[in-house]
Amino acid sequence: MKVFLTNFHYKKHFTPVQMIMAGVLYAVLSLPSLVYLCIVKTRNFLYKKNLLKSYKPHLYTVSVGNLTTGGTGKTPITAEIANYFAKKGDYPAILSRGYGGQLPNKDVNVVSDGLTIHHNALEAGDEPYWLASHCPKCAVLTCSSRVKAAKFAKNSLHCTKLILDDGFQHQKIGRDLNILVTDSEKQFSNGCVLPLGALREPLSEIKRADKIVVVNKSFNDKKAKSFARYLRKKYNKPTFVCSMVPDIVYNIKTEKLIEDDAPVIAFSAIAQPEQFYKFLRRYDVLDTKDFSDHHIYTKDDVEELKALKEKYGAKYMITTEKDAVKLKEILDTDEGIFALKLKPVLDLKGLLDE
């Protein structure tokens, strides 16, 4: 059902039977979608008229977010921005809700202070931990209240810049730069808001963005550039293309690199796994295994994956870096699991007005 709903949201081709199911789904979901749309529009109107107030942290604040559910590549872009600021001498704090973590999110949790990582992936959540491990000179905080986290970053850690991870919808904090990230492959789904479509907000809210980043996940430069030109012209916003380039594939325990094209199985627990599998096209991928988004791995999962590897005679098991940070917590020995590292290629100076 989850696969069918994703296909429904992104206008995939249907069989005749699936077309009937899609019609029924449209009828069932139209009213809830309309109610959701009214709520979102009312909330945005109240912020626009200043009837709902936004906290101004008096630190330069960048928000990185998207309009759709699922992954668009915003987290690696958040890391690139944080590291860019750190290299220029700033002490940035990345603020996250800590989705999927075990820590109580009513309090501010210091996942990393820029010197020490204080919580593992299971405690902090896979994305905050990934950010902490990839941004060594940046603070990473989780809290259900971004306002509380912002005050802590400013007053207790004395950070000099704030970055809101997945912050486009979070208008409780004012921002100096509002960056909207979208995917050149899936774009804006079928143009409908939840649950009829994958949009968190209607497309008209793109106007709140200061700049747009189109992430080219499909290896189709022409398509990504064409979509960027369309957005630039339609919404009159500076628009950039970010290419996610496969960098290295390394053993998550030993950090040894894969240096051959031997047969592999691939697995992940992310929102849009098909994009990840495309990055592995240089390998002979014999089979794939999808877990639910933000799945917490167990040793039984590892045994299942090892059995799959044996069944197909694969040499390696490859996953994403977000999955790797969780797996490292439960692995006592090297189980032959490797992670693909992606490198964003983006004009950061242009994006950040440097």
Same domain, 207 and 328: no
Residue 53: inside a domain? no
**Block means of pLDDT (10 residues each) for the chain, length 354 residues?**
70 74 88 98 97 97 94 90 98 94 93 97 92 97 97 98 97 98 89 94 98 85 93 97 92 92 93 87 94 91 96 96 92 93 93 84
Same domain, 232 and 133: yes
Residue 143: inside a domain? yes
Q: Which residues of 288-321 are buried (b: 16+ CB within 10 A; e: fewer)?
A: bbbbebbbbbeeebbeebeebbeeeebbbbbbbb
Same domain, 213 and 264: no
What is the edge-to-edge ordering of all strands in the sheet holding 316-320?
109-113, 139-142, 92-96, 161-165, 60-65, 177-183, 211-216, 239-251, 337-345, 316-320, 263-268, 284-290
Question: Rounded to whole angstroms, how far apart are CA atoms 186 and 278?
Answer: 14
Same domain, 158 and 76: yes
Same domain, 302 and 175: no
Residue 55: inside a domain? no
Same domain, 36 and 19: yes
What is the predicted pLDDT for the residue at 2?
Answer: 64
Same domain, 164 and 259: no
When computed from its CA atoms, the radius of gyration of the chain, rounded to whole angstroms, is: 21
Residue 251: inside a domain? yes
What is the predicted pLDDT for the residue at 293?
Answer: 85
Same domain, 176 and 285: no
State the pairing for strand pair 239-251/337-345.
antiparallel
Residue 54: inside a domain? no
Residue 316: inside a domain? yes
Same domain, 133 and 184: yes
What is the predicted pLDDT for the residue at 12?
Answer: 63
What is the predicted pLDDT for the residue at 189?
Answer: 85
Number of compact structural domains in the chain: 3
3-state helix, strand, coil in the chain (%, to 5): 40, 25, 40
Question: Rounded to whole angstroms, how far apart are CA atoms 321 and 339?
Answer: 5
What is the predicted pLDDT for the residue at 272?
Answer: 79
Domain span at 6: 2-48
Half-sphere exposure of 180 (CA within 13 A, CB side): 26
Same domain, 238 and 255: no
Residue 315: inside a domain? yes
Question: Rounded to whole angstroms, how far apart are CA atoms 198 and 269?
Answer: 19
Residue 141: inside a domain? yes
Same domain, 228 and 304: no
Same domain, 132 and 213: yes
Which domain CATH number covers 91? Answer: 3.40.50
Last residue in a domain, options 28, 48, 68: 48
Question: Rounded to whole angstroms, how far apart are CA atoms 305 and 303?
Answer: 5
What is the predicted pLDDT for the residue at 166?
Answer: 95
